[in-house]
Amino acid sequence: MSRRLPLVVLFFILLLWLAVSYGLRYGLMEDVQWVGICADEASKWQCQLRSNLGLWIHYGVFGWGALITSLIAFFVSRQVGRAFAVVGLLLGILALVLYTASLAVFAVVIAGLRLVRARQA
């Protein structure tokens, strides 16, 4: 296995996650059609998801989750720390796209620093 393969896989996962995040933002959260649909039928699963995402965005769940996960990753060693850093990075990207940039910026930087940190012997 090549040394660069995990980096390439992570890069493509991040690109896919970014596309999904923007699809969620512009396809569900900001699309005008859902206002009318959810006003008529609030029990649809798309409307429930939209409502819950709105609450999670309001309370900063994605930003705080990304920041806490990235901080945990910075202090945990080896593969577990790298896994936490990837989760923190994914949550941070989602938080950046979904309006929680103030917390997500720090989370993405911390997770990125953890991912590029030299391996300990």
20 found inside a domain: yes
121 found inside a domain: no
Q: Which residue range forms the structural domain that includes residue 73? A: 5-116
49 found inside a domain: yes
- Give the number of domains in the chain: 1
Instruction: Give per-residue pLDDT as tens, 27-48.
Output: 989 888 988 888 888 888 999 9
Contact 54, 48 (CB under 8 A): no
* pTM tops 0.85: yes
Q: Which residues neighbour 91 within 8 Å (Cβ) at sequence distance 6 or greater?
A: 62, 65, 66, 69, 104, 107
- As given in the structure block, the two tokens for residue 49 are 């998801």
How far from each other are the two terminal CA atoms of the chain, in whole angstroms? 21
Q: How far is CA 111 from the centre of its chain?
A: 12
Tally the C-alpha atoms within 13 A of residue 13's C-alpha that lie toward its C-beta: 11
Instruction: Give per-residue pLDDT as tens, 38-81.
Output: 888 888 899 999 999 999 999 999 999 999 999 999 899 888 99
